[in-house]
């Protein structure tokens, strides 16, 4: 059974870089059709898609964050990563990783999410 | 980008009652709409895709309907474990967007 798990620091200082890892288990991140995405949810607000990546490193980013966001993949470890630089309090959110069975498709499997707070 | 508006923000009902949740799109998304369930502390779960198709393992009490700009998620007879936030998502126009969510409380 495919499972995803987010990990990373729960507290990041303003202007610094937020870095998270998503570990995929019970399946291979190297599937030719799957895409792997990051979604976040600020406190009291709705979900926001951040971006997605496939096994070969092909990425798609939300235009609202594109200048600050990098998503990468390590197929040897079945991990993919999120880096968001120059963070502010507005980046405080629960961050989820999720699987899409193909590009721009539904998010069929999600991690439990990890809360990241931006504060000095 | 397409804006999805969900009403009501909160729904408080008793077990066995029928829940009707609404999602309205700022422009037509055809049938490219999904519903997700978020229970506290748990991973979000895909319930309905393509407006009316139940995802694998989803109980029959969950149903989706609608097309174009107006969509409905119906829970025919509420169970205590249905207490959650329900969010809609469109994939008709890139980027994918989500609604603000409806919180369902079980009395």
Q: What is the pLDDT of residue B3?
A: 97
Cis preceding linkage at B8, omega within 30: yes
Reply yes or no: is the peptide bond before residue B95 cis, omega within 30 of 0. yes
The two most distant CA atoms of chain B are separated, in Å, by 38
**B100 vs A: CB within 8 A:** yes
**Would you call B53 an interface residue with chain A, using a CB distance cutoff of 8 Å?**
no
Which residues on B lie below 8 Å from A4 (Cβ)?
43
Q: What is the SS3 assignment for B80?
A: helix
Rounded-to-integer distance, Cα A67 and Cα A21, Å? 20
Q: What is the mean pLDDT of chain B?
A: 97
Predicted local confidence at residue B46, as pLDDT: 97
- Can you tell me the mean pLDDT for B41-69? 96
A residues 9-38 closer than 8 Å to B (CB): none
State the DSSP H helix or E strand holding residue B7, giving kind and residue range, or none if neither.
Answer: strand B4-7
pLDDT at B40 over 90: no
Strands of the sheet containing A18-25, edge to edge, are A3-7, A18-25, A79-84, A69-74
For the segment A63-85, the average pLDDT, to the nearest whole number, is: 96
pLDDT confidence bin for B41, thresholds 50/70/90: confident
What's the average model confidence in pLDDT over B30-49? Answer: 95
- Which residues 71-110 of A have a C-beta within 8 angstroms of B? 96, 98, 104-110
Closest residue to B96, CB basis, from A45, A49, A109:
A49
Which two tokens mark B94? 């890139």
Could you tell me the CA-to-CA distances from A88 to A9, A12, A15, A93, B9 in Å, in that order? Answer: 15, 9, 6, 11, 27
* B13 CB-near residues (< 8 Å, 6+ apart): B19, B78, B104, B105, B106, B107
3-state secondary structure A29-95: CCCCCCEEEEEEECCCCCCEEEEEECCCCCEEECCCCCCCEEEEEECCCCEEEEEECCCCHHHCEEE
B87 touches chain A (CB under 8 A): yes
Would you state the pLDDT for residue A66?
85
CA of B56: which chain A residue's CA is closest?
A108
What's the pLDDT at A103?
Answer: 86
**Percent over 70 (pLDDT), chain A:** 100
A-chain CB neighbours of B94 within 8 Å are: 60, 104
| B62-80: average pLDDT | 98
The reported pLDDT for the residue numbered A82 is 98
- Beta partners for residue A39, in sequence order: A49, A96
Helix/strand/coil for A106: coil
């Amino acid at each position: 059974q495919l499972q995803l798990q987010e990990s990373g620091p729960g507290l990041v200082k303003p202007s610094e870089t937020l870095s998270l890892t998503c570990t995929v288990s019970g399946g291979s991140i190297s599937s030719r059709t799957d895409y792997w995405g990051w979604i976040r949810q600020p406190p009291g607000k709705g979900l926001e898609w951040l971006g997605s990546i496939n096994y070969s490193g092909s990425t798609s980013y939300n235009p609202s964050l594109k200048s600050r966001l990098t998503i990468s993949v390590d197929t040897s470890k079945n991990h993919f990563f999120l880096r968001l630089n120059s963070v502010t309090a507005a980046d405080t959110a629960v961050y989820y990783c999720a699987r899409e069975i193909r590009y721009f498709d539904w998010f069929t499997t999600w991690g439990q999410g990890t809360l990241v707070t931006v504060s000095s | 980008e397409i804006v999805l508006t969900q009403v009501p923000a909160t729904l408080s009902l008793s077990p066995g009652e029928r829940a009707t949740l609404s999602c309205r799109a700022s422009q037509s998304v055809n049938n490219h709409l999904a519903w997700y369930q978020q229970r506290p502390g748990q991973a979000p779960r895909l319930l309905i895709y393509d407006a009316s198709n139940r995802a694998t393992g989803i109980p029959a009490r969950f149903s989706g309907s609608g097309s174009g700009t107006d969509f409905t998620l119906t829970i025919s007879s509420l169970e205590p474990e249905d207490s959650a936030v329900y969010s809609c998502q469109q994939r008709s126009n890139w980027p994918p967007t989500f609604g603000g969510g409806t919180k369902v409380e079980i009395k």
